[in-house]
Homo-oligomer: A and B are copies of this chain.
Amino acid sequence: MDKPLDLLKRLGVETQPNGDLSVYSPIDGAPIATLQNASNGEIEDTIARAKAAFIKWRDVPAPRRGELVRLWGEELRKSKEDIAQLISLEVGKILQEGLGEVQEAIDMCDLCVGQSRQLFGRTITSERASHRIMEQWHPLGPVAIITAFNFPCAVFAWNAANALICGDSIILKPSEKSPLSGMATLQALLRAIDKFGSDAPGGLAQGIIGGVEQSKELVYSRDIALVSATGSTEMGRSVAVAVAERFGKRILELGGNNAMIVTEHANLELALRAIVFGAVGTAGQRCTSLRRLFIHHTQKDALIKKIKTAYASLNIGNPLEDQSLVGPLIDAPAYMMFKNGIQDALDEGGTLLIGGERVLEEQYPDGYYVSPAVFEMPSQTQAMKAECFTPILYIVPYEDFDQALEMHNDVPQGLSSCIISDNMREVERFISASGSDCGMANVNIGPSGAEIGGAFGGEKETGGDRETGSDAWKNYMRRTTNSINYSTDMPLAQGISFGD
């Protein structure tokens, strides 16, 4: 691993030595760099440039816009290792996951290249003679992308790749906890823009450093056609209200409180693998992390035994080291949340089965490493209904499937969910209208690790939106219905006669 500043330089990320935003590595709490938060005036200018860029970009043919995204993918391929290292350094996820995240950005670029020729609307038959109807999808406007700390590269790329092929200009506001990785991803885009040539207007892709204040200015601006925000439910609620008030558009990916049902027909080996990656991957700080586990009572003892064995052998440590599977929490407040979560579970009658400790404190006094915790709970308690964004897994046994489903759905969030079962009836029931109420319902897979092809997002307090996959590109465009009369007559719909 290079020195951070060498890495940043190679990635083209500029830092401001006297900036007011300091970025620390969760690995050891050491500062990586400082950046300067954007002022109000700077944000206004940024928005104005984005608006001007949009007016030009929307007229560039979509397949040509796709070519820019292809070049971005090429740049990301070249910088894959570097960006992955930066992610590990800044977010604390293990390098394998960092590489996976950049790969996801690359995959999204590849997908969007093809998508740029497939922004299909519909031609529709008219009820009137010599009339036809069609539906076109047109570019929408400037898009603000407000990302969370845990996926600084992929989530930005999901949004930006879609927005760019759809004809929109973009403004990235990365999390103040991990702005560098986002900026590095943006730099790769700017290099692609350079290669792309003059079709790409200045201001097409910009970044803003900052926190809540900077986000608000984007959210409230009437010139931002779409706000795509990833983060907590509370943040999302305020975005939702602010954007609704001005009739803007939004994509929200908020809290998850993702569960798994392990049925009496489950393959426990599969279950175990899904549980461990789901619950401890990214140190439990994925929006799709596994948090609640409902086990059929006949399977409980055997599975808990396996889980304890697996957890006991987890390598917790520096995420840049090969053998590490679990890195640090992002910062001290996260550790507080973890501690409180542990206490709440105990208070509600939970039995701590394993983990729940701070570890490596001597080695990294300013790094917050914890041993992922597993609780057996007497029932689905109140604490389980809130998202505790740390590696705490709650186990609740169940007697019959309907009961498991009911507990499963009885939380305010609705992002991801899964069932482990070999039985087709249980499986189908789980993904049916009366099954999981989440945006994603997986079978014999954990709740996390979605592919880019399927629509990603969730229901209820998760926000209700989808930011990639399937036809999610439509969020980045506006729809126009065109009814065209090519006769010299003008019949009315519904057969109305008006003064004829």
Q: What is A's interface to B at a CB cutoff of 8 Å?
A: 55, 58-64, 66, 70, 96-97, 99-101, 103-104, 107, 110-139, 167, 236-237, 240-241, 243-245, 247, 249, 267, 269-270, 273-274, 276-277, 281, 325, 421-425, 427-429, 431-434, 436-446, 449-456, 459-464, 466, 469-470, 478-488, 490, 492-499
- Known A-B contacts A240-B245, A449-B496, A469-B481; the reply to A110 vs B114 at CB < 8 A is yes
A281's nearest neighbour on chain B, judged by CB, is: B498
Cα separation A14 to B189 with both chains bound (whole Å)? 41
Interface-central residue, A66, A433, A486, by most chain B CB under 10 Å: A433
Q: Are A425 and B488 in contact (CB under 8 A)?
A: yes
Chain B: which residue is nearest A133 at the CB level? B454
Task: Please state if A139 and B433 are interface contacts (CB–CB under 8 Å).
Answer: yes
A267 near B488 (CB under 8 angstroms)? Answer: yes
Name the residue of chain B whose CB is nearest to the CB of A249: B464
Tell whether, in the assembled complex, residue A492 and residue B449 are in contact, meaning their CB atoms are under 8 Å apart: yes
A307 nearest CB across to chain B (Å): 14
On chain B, the residues within 8 Å of A464 by CB distance are 247, 249
Q: How far is the CA of A449 from the CA of B428 in the complex (A)?
A: 21
Instruction: Sample 20 A-B pairs with CB under 8 A, ordered by A number.
Output: A59-B433, A61-B129, A64-B127, A96-B498, A97-B496, A100-B494, A101-B494, A103-B494, A124-B470, A130-B432, A131-B445, A247-B464, A281-B498, A325-B499, A421-B424, A425-B488, A439-B478, A442-B483, A444-B485, A449-B494
- Residues of B contacting A123 with CB < 8 Å? 120-123, 134-137
B484 x A442 contact (CB < 8 A): yes
Check A110/B66 contact, CB under 8 A, given A267-B488, A463-B247, A499-B276. Answer: yes
Shortest distance between the CB of A415 and any CB in chain B (Å): 11
Measured in the bound complex, the distance between the Cα atoms of B131 and A62 in whole Å is: 11
Q: Are B167 and A441 in contact (CB under 8 A)?
A: no
B247–A484 touching, CB < 8 Å: no
A171 to B147, CA, bound (A): 38
| A272 vs chain B, min Cβ distance (A) | 10
CA distance A414 to B321 in the complex (A): 54
CB-based contact A439/B479 at 8 Å: yes
When the two chains form their complex, are residues B443 and A62 in contact, meaning their CB atoms are under 8 A apart? no
**Assembly CA distance A130 to B426 (angstroms):** 12
Whether the Cβ atoms of A122 and B470 lie closer than 8 Å is yes
4 more A-B contacts (CB under 8 A) besides A103-B495, A237-B245? A119-B125, A131-B445, A133-B453, A429-B486
Bound form: Cα–Cα A49–B136 in Å = 39
CB neighbours (8 Å) of A104 from chain B are 493-494
**Cα-based distance from A456 to B493 in the complex (angstroms):** 14
Cβ contact within 8 Å between B127 and A63: yes
Residues of B close to A428: CB separation below 8 A: 130, 132, 484, 486
Report the Cα distance A462→B433, complex, angstroms. 32
A444 to B, closest residue via Cβ: B485
Within the complex, the shortest CB–CB distance from A58 to chain B, in Å, comes to 5
Taken together as a complex, chains A and B put the C-alpha atoms of A91 and B374 apart, in Å, by 64
Residue picked from A427, A451, A466, most chain B C-beta under 10 Å: A451
Which residues of B sit under 8 angstroms from A122, Cβ to Cβ? 120-123, 470
User: Are B452 and A117 interface neighbours, CB within 8 A?
Assistant: yes
Residues of B within 8 A of A55 (CB): 434
Structural contact, A443 and B277, CB atoms closer than 8 A: no
* Residues of chain B with a CB closer than 8 A to A487's CB: 425
Contacts of A134 in B (CB 8 A): 123, 134
